[in-house]
Amino acid sequence: METHILLGSVVREPRVGQTKTQKDFTGFTIKVDRKFRDQTYSSYHECISFGEPAQTAARLREGDIVQVWANEAKAEIYQSRGGEPKAKVTFTVRELEIVSAGSPLPHLRRAMSAPLKAVPPSRLRAPPTTSTKTCRSRMARFRISDLPPAMRAQIGRGVPGGLPRTVNMPAPAPSSEPGRVTGRFVIQIAPMGKPRMTRRDKWAKRPCVVEYFAYADALRAACPGIHPAPTSVSWTAYFPMPTSWSQKKQAAMAGKLHRSKPDRDNVDKGILDALWEQDSCIARGSLLKLWDDGKGPRIELTVESE
Protein backbone atom coordinates (compact mmCIF):
# COMPACT_ATOMS: atom_id res chain seq x y z
CA MET A 1 0.00 0.00 0.00
CA GLU A 2 1.38 3.38 -1.02
CA THR A 3 1.93 5.85 1.81
CA HIS A 4 2.16 9.63 1.36
CA ILE A 5 4.03 11.62 4.02
CA LEU A 6 3.37 15.36 4.24
CA LEU A 7 4.99 17.89 6.55
CA GLY A 8 3.53 21.37 6.58
CA SER A 9 1.67 24.10 8.42
CA VAL A 10 -2.07 24.41 8.93
CA VAL A 11 -3.37 27.38 6.96
CA ARG A 12 -6.91 27.60 8.37
CA GLU A 13 -9.06 26.28 11.20
CA PRO A 14 -10.11 22.62 10.75
CA ARG A 15 -13.64 21.80 9.58
CA VAL A 16 -15.56 19.31 11.70
CA GLY A 17 -18.58 17.51 10.25
CA GLN A 18 -20.44 14.27 9.83
CA THR A 19 -21.02 12.03 6.82
CA LYS A 20 -24.39 10.73 5.67
CA THR A 21 -23.70 7.54 7.61
CA GLN A 22 -23.25 9.52 10.86
CA LYS A 23 -19.45 9.14 10.81
CA ASP A 24 -17.47 12.04 12.28
CA PHE A 25 -14.68 13.56 10.21
CA THR A 26 -12.29 16.51 10.31
CA GLY A 27 -10.96 18.29 7.23
CA PHE A 28 -8.00 20.67 7.17
CA THR A 29 -5.56 22.26 4.71
CA ILE A 30 -1.78 22.25 5.07
CA LYS A 31 0.91 24.20 3.22
CA VAL A 32 4.04 22.29 2.29
CA ASP A 33 7.17 24.33 1.52
CA ARG A 34 9.99 22.95 -0.66
CA LYS A 35 13.33 24.59 -1.38
CA PHE A 36 14.94 24.37 -4.79
CA ARG A 37 17.98 26.43 -5.81
CA ASP A 38 17.59 28.95 -3.00
CA GLN A 39 13.90 29.45 -3.78
CA THR A 40 10.90 28.26 -1.77
CA TYR A 41 7.89 26.76 -3.53
CA SER A 42 4.63 26.23 -1.63
CA SER A 43 1.85 23.76 -2.36
CA TYR A 44 -1.49 23.38 -0.59
CA HIS A 45 -3.06 20.02 0.17
CA GLU A 46 -6.53 19.12 1.44
CA CYS A 47 -6.63 16.40 4.13
CA ILE A 48 -9.57 14.53 5.61
CA SER A 49 -9.40 12.29 8.68
CA PHE A 50 -11.74 9.86 10.42
CA GLY A 51 -11.77 8.17 13.81
CA GLU A 52 -8.86 8.84 16.19
CA PRO A 53 -6.89 11.06 13.73
CA ALA A 54 -10.04 13.20 13.37
CA GLN A 55 -10.04 13.87 17.12
CA THR A 56 -6.41 14.99 16.95
CA ALA A 57 -7.08 17.13 13.88
CA ALA A 58 -10.00 18.86 15.62
CA ARG A 59 -7.49 20.36 18.09
CA LEU A 60 -5.36 21.93 15.36
CA ARG A 61 -4.98 25.68 15.07
CA GLU A 62 -3.84 27.88 12.21
CA GLY A 63 -0.05 27.93 12.01
CA ASP A 64 0.54 24.55 13.67
CA ILE A 65 3.20 22.33 12.12
CA VAL A 66 1.92 18.80 11.48
CA GLN A 67 3.16 15.61 9.88
CA VAL A 68 0.61 13.51 8.03
CA TRP A 69 0.71 9.90 6.88
CA ALA A 70 -1.92 9.21 4.22
CA ASN A 71 -2.80 5.96 2.45
CA GLU A 72 -5.10 7.37 -0.20
CA ALA A 73 -4.97 10.38 -2.52
CA LYS A 74 -7.94 11.49 -4.63
CA ALA A 75 -7.33 13.94 -7.49
CA GLU A 76 -9.95 16.29 -8.94
CA ILE A 77 -9.66 18.67 -11.89
CA TYR A 78 -11.20 22.13 -11.58
CA GLN A 79 -10.95 25.52 -13.29
CA SER A 80 -9.40 28.50 -11.62
CA ARG A 81 -10.89 31.99 -11.81
CA GLY A 82 -8.84 32.65 -14.90
CA GLY A 83 -10.25 29.55 -16.62
CA GLU A 84 -7.04 27.62 -16.16
CA PRO A 85 -7.44 23.89 -15.37
CA LYS A 86 -5.87 22.85 -12.06
CA ALA A 87 -5.64 19.67 -10.04
CA LYS A 88 -6.82 19.34 -6.46
CA VAL A 89 -5.56 16.39 -4.40
CA THR A 90 -7.32 15.26 -1.21
CA PHE A 91 -5.43 12.94 1.13
CA THR A 92 -7.13 10.50 3.52
CA VAL A 93 -5.19 10.67 6.79
CA ARG A 94 -4.10 7.43 8.45
CA GLU A 95 -1.94 9.01 11.16
CA LEU A 96 -1.38 12.57 12.34
CA GLU A 97 1.30 14.07 14.55
CA ILE A 98 1.61 17.63 15.85
CA VAL A 99 5.20 18.91 15.73
CA SER A 100 5.97 21.35 18.52
CA ALA A 101 8.45 24.24 18.51
CA GLY A 102 10.80 22.14 20.60
CA SER A 103 11.04 19.39 17.98
CA PRO A 104 14.37 17.49 17.94
CA LEU A 105 14.43 17.79 14.13
CA PRO A 106 16.17 21.11 13.39
CA HIS A 107 16.21 20.54 9.62
CA LEU A 108 12.41 20.68 9.65
CA ARG A 109 12.48 24.19 11.04
CA ARG A 110 14.98 25.31 8.41
CA ALA A 111 12.76 23.91 5.65
CA MET A 112 9.69 25.78 6.88
CA SER A 113 9.25 29.35 5.82
CA ALA A 114 6.23 29.81 8.12
CA PRO A 115 7.18 30.65 11.73
CA LEU A 116 6.82 27.83 14.20
CA LYS A 117 4.09 28.15 16.78
CA ALA A 118 4.42 26.43 20.12
CA VAL A 119 1.71 23.85 20.69
CA PRO A 120 0.38 23.68 24.26
CA PRO A 121 0.93 20.29 25.91
CA SER A 122 -2.82 19.94 26.40
CA ARG A 123 -3.26 19.66 22.62
CA LEU A 124 -0.55 17.03 22.14
CA ARG A 125 -2.49 14.43 24.07
CA ALA A 126 -6.02 13.79 25.29
CA PRO A 127 -6.90 16.70 27.63
CA PRO A 128 -8.95 15.06 30.42
CA THR A 129 -8.91 18.13 32.66
CA THR A 130 -9.92 20.60 29.96
CA SER A 131 -12.58 18.41 28.45
CA THR A 132 -14.00 17.64 31.89
CA LYS A 133 -14.25 21.31 32.77
CA THR A 134 -15.83 22.03 29.41
CA CYS A 135 -18.42 19.35 30.00
CA ARG A 136 -19.13 20.61 33.48
CA SER A 137 -19.59 24.16 32.25
CA ARG A 138 -22.26 22.77 29.91
CA MET A 139 -23.89 20.64 32.55
CA ALA A 140 -25.66 23.65 34.00
CA ARG A 141 -27.66 23.86 30.77
CA PHE A 142 -29.09 20.37 31.19
CA ARG A 143 -30.78 20.14 34.55
CA ILE A 144 -33.05 17.21 35.24
CA SER A 145 -36.08 19.44 35.72
CA ASP A 146 -35.53 20.96 32.26
CA LEU A 147 -35.65 17.62 30.44
CA PRO A 148 -38.78 16.29 28.75
CA PRO A 149 -40.84 13.85 30.87
CA ALA A 150 -40.05 10.96 28.52
CA MET A 151 -36.31 11.47 28.94
CA ARG A 152 -36.64 11.91 32.69
CA ALA A 153 -38.42 8.56 32.88
CA GLN A 154 -35.71 7.00 30.72
CA ILE A 155 -32.98 8.30 33.02
CA GLY A 156 -34.74 6.96 36.09
CA ARG A 157 -35.41 3.54 34.49
CA GLY A 158 -37.96 2.36 36.98
CA VAL A 159 -37.38 4.86 39.77
CA PRO A 160 -40.66 6.58 40.74
CA GLY A 161 -41.02 9.85 38.86
CA GLY A 162 -37.99 9.09 36.75
CA LEU A 163 -35.73 11.01 39.14
CA PRO A 164 -32.81 9.48 41.01
CA ARG A 165 -32.87 9.57 44.77
CA THR A 166 -30.47 8.78 47.59
CA VAL A 167 -31.15 6.29 50.37
CA ASN A 168 -30.61 7.85 53.77
CA MET A 169 -27.56 6.11 55.17
CA PRO A 170 -26.07 6.41 58.66
CA ALA A 171 -22.98 8.54 59.11
CA PRO A 172 -19.88 6.81 57.77
CA ALA A 173 -18.25 4.66 60.40
CA PRO A 174 -14.52 5.14 60.84
CA SER A 175 -12.42 2.33 59.44
CA SER A 176 -10.45 0.05 61.68
CA GLU A 177 -7.33 1.18 59.85
CA PRO A 178 -5.97 4.41 61.44
CA GLY A 179 -5.82 7.56 59.34
CA ARG A 180 -8.48 6.45 56.83
CA VAL A 181 -11.96 7.94 56.35
CA THR A 182 -14.58 5.83 54.58
CA GLY A 183 -17.76 7.16 52.96
CA ARG A 184 -20.57 4.96 51.63
CA PHE A 185 -23.36 6.10 49.31
CA VAL A 186 -26.29 4.23 47.79
CA ILE A 187 -27.67 6.09 44.78
CA GLN A 188 -30.98 4.90 43.36
CA ILE A 189 -30.35 5.51 39.67
CA ALA A 190 -29.81 3.26 36.68
CA PRO A 191 -26.05 3.13 35.93
CA MET A 192 -24.85 4.23 32.53
CA GLY A 193 -21.53 4.51 30.74
CA LYS A 194 -20.05 7.81 29.67
CA PRO A 195 -20.57 8.35 25.92
CA ARG A 196 -17.69 9.21 23.67
CA MET A 197 -17.64 12.99 23.19
CA THR A 198 -16.11 15.01 20.39
CA ARG A 199 -15.70 18.66 19.56
CA ARG A 200 -19.01 18.50 17.72
CA ASP A 201 -20.83 18.01 21.03
CA LYS A 202 -20.20 21.66 21.87
CA TRP A 203 -23.11 22.58 19.58
CA ALA A 204 -24.83 19.28 18.68
CA LYS A 205 -26.98 18.15 21.61
CA ARG A 206 -27.02 14.41 21.09
CA PRO A 207 -29.55 12.61 23.33
CA CYS A 208 -26.90 10.34 24.86
CA VAL A 209 -24.77 13.36 25.85
CA VAL A 210 -27.76 15.24 27.28
CA GLU A 211 -28.72 12.13 29.25
CA TYR A 212 -25.19 11.79 30.65
CA PHE A 213 -25.11 15.44 31.76
CA ALA A 214 -28.32 14.91 33.73
CA TYR A 215 -26.94 11.62 35.07
CA ALA A 216 -23.76 13.39 36.27
CA ASP A 217 -25.82 16.15 37.94
CA ALA A 218 -27.81 13.48 39.77
CA LEU A 219 -24.66 11.72 41.02
CA ARG A 220 -23.20 14.94 42.40
CA ALA A 221 -26.47 15.87 44.07
CA ALA A 222 -26.67 12.42 45.67
CA CYS A 223 -23.14 12.54 47.13
CA PRO A 224 -22.89 15.73 49.21
CA GLY A 225 -19.66 16.17 51.13
CA ILE A 226 -17.79 13.50 49.18
CA HIS A 227 -14.02 13.54 49.68
CA PRO A 228 -12.38 15.77 47.03
CA ALA A 229 -9.23 13.62 46.61
CA PRO A 230 -9.78 9.99 47.64
CA THR A 231 -7.22 7.24 47.17
CA SER A 232 -9.68 4.39 46.65
CA VAL A 233 -13.12 4.27 45.00
CA SER A 234 -15.11 1.05 44.72
CA TRP A 235 -18.60 0.60 43.36
CA THR A 236 -21.21 -2.04 42.67
CA ALA A 237 -23.68 -1.20 39.91
CA TYR A 238 -27.08 -2.91 39.67
CA PHE A 239 -28.57 -2.72 36.18
CA PRO A 240 -32.28 -3.01 35.31
CA MET A 241 -33.32 -6.15 33.46
CA PRO A 242 -34.73 -5.96 29.94
CA THR A 243 -38.51 -5.83 29.86
CA SER A 244 -38.48 -8.48 27.13
CA TRP A 245 -37.25 -11.10 29.59
CA SER A 246 -39.78 -13.47 31.06
CA GLN A 247 -40.44 -13.47 34.79
CA LYS A 248 -38.73 -16.83 35.08
CA LYS A 249 -35.55 -15.52 33.46
CA GLN A 250 -35.60 -12.33 35.52
CA ALA A 251 -35.88 -14.39 38.72
CA ALA A 252 -32.99 -16.60 37.60
CA MET A 253 -30.72 -13.64 36.74
CA ALA A 254 -31.47 -11.52 39.84
CA GLY A 255 -28.18 -10.51 41.47
CA LYS A 256 -26.09 -12.38 38.87
CA LEU A 257 -23.10 -10.94 37.03
CA HIS A 258 -23.95 -8.35 34.38
CA ARG A 259 -21.95 -9.30 31.26
CA SER A 260 -23.51 -6.92 28.74
CA LYS A 261 -23.12 -3.33 27.61
CA PRO A 262 -22.16 -0.80 28.88
CA ASP A 263 -18.53 -1.75 29.44
CA ARG A 264 -17.19 -1.67 32.96
CA ASP A 265 -14.55 0.96 32.16
CA ASN A 266 -17.17 3.29 30.62
CA VAL A 267 -19.34 3.02 33.73
CA ASP A 268 -16.31 3.75 35.91
CA LYS A 269 -15.35 6.77 33.79
CA GLY A 270 -18.91 8.09 33.95
CA ILE A 271 -18.87 7.96 37.77
CA LEU A 272 -15.37 9.36 38.32
CA ASP A 273 -15.66 12.21 35.81
CA ALA A 274 -18.98 13.26 37.31
CA LEU A 275 -17.83 13.32 40.95
CA TRP A 276 -14.21 14.51 40.71
CA GLU A 277 -12.49 17.13 38.58
CA GLN A 278 -9.15 15.35 39.00
CA ASP A 279 -9.55 11.58 39.38
CA SER A 280 -5.85 10.86 38.83
CA CYS A 281 -5.44 10.71 42.63
CA ILE A 282 -7.53 7.50 42.77
CA ALA A 283 -5.04 4.64 42.89
CA ARG A 284 -7.19 1.58 43.56
CA GLY A 285 -10.74 0.28 43.78
CA SER A 286 -12.94 -2.67 42.91
CA LEU A 287 -15.66 -2.63 40.24
CA LEU A 288 -18.64 -4.97 40.00
CA LYS A 289 -21.62 -5.09 37.62
CA LEU A 290 -24.72 -7.06 38.65
CA TRP A 291 -28.29 -7.46 37.50
CA ASP A 292 -30.99 -5.95 39.69
CA ASP A 293 -31.46 -8.09 42.80
CA GLY A 294 -35.00 -6.87 43.47
CA LYS A 295 -34.09 -3.63 45.30
CA GLY A 296 -34.07 -1.52 42.14
CA PRO A 297 -31.32 -0.18 39.86
CA ARG A 298 -28.68 1.59 41.92
CA ILE A 299 -25.01 2.32 42.52
CA GLU A 300 -23.35 1.42 45.82
CA LEU A 301 -20.29 3.61 46.17
CA THR A 302 -17.47 3.29 48.71
CA VAL A 303 -14.88 6.09 49.02
CA GLU A 304 -11.68 5.78 51.05
CA SER A 305 -8.96 8.31 51.75
CA GLU A 306 -5.62 7.99 53.46
Domain CATH number, residue 28:
2.40.50.140
Query: Which CATH number characterizes residue 175's domain?
Result: 3.30.1330.70
Same-domain check for residues 185 and 298 = yes
Residues 44 and 137 in one domain: no
Position 190 confidence tier, pLDDT thresholds 50, 70, 90: very high
Are the C-beta atoms of 234 and 286 separated by less than 8 Å? yes
Find the mean pLDDT for residues 255-284: 91
d(CA 121, CA 102): 11
Confidence band for 145, pLDDT divided at 50, 70 and 90 = low
* Higher per-residue confidence, 115 vs 204: 204
Average pLDDT over residues 95-123: 51
- Shared domain for 76 and 29, answered yes or no, is yes
Share of the chain above pLDDT 70, in %: 72
Instruction: Please give the tally of structural domains in the chain.
Output: 2
Identify the CA nearest to 130 among candidates 44, 230, 197, 42. Answer: 197
Are 177 and 32 in the same domain? no
Q: Which 3 state secondary structure label does DSSP give 156?
A: helix
Question: Which of 110, 125, 140 delimits the end of a domain?
Answer: 125
Last residue within a domain, chosen from 125, 145, 160: 125
* Buried residues in 236-258 as b, exposed as e (16+ CB within 10 A): bbbbbbeeeeeeeeeeebeeeeb
Same domain, 194 and 120: no
Residues 142 and 194 reside in one and the same domain: yes
pLDDT for 153 equals 53
86-95, 171-180, 264-273: which range is least confident on average? Answer: 171-180
Same domain, 275 and 140: yes
Q: Provide the mean pLDDT of the chain.
A: 75
Parent domain of 211: 129-305
User: Does residue 204 surpass a pLDDT of 90?
Assistant: no
CA–CA separation, 289 and 299 (whole Å)? 10
Instruction: Give the domain-ending residue among 125, 159, 177.
Output: 125
Is the domain of 177 the same as that of 119?
no
The whole-number pLDDT of residue 100 equals 56
Kindly report which listed range (7-16, 20-29, 132-141) carries the lowest average pLDDT score.
Answer: 132-141
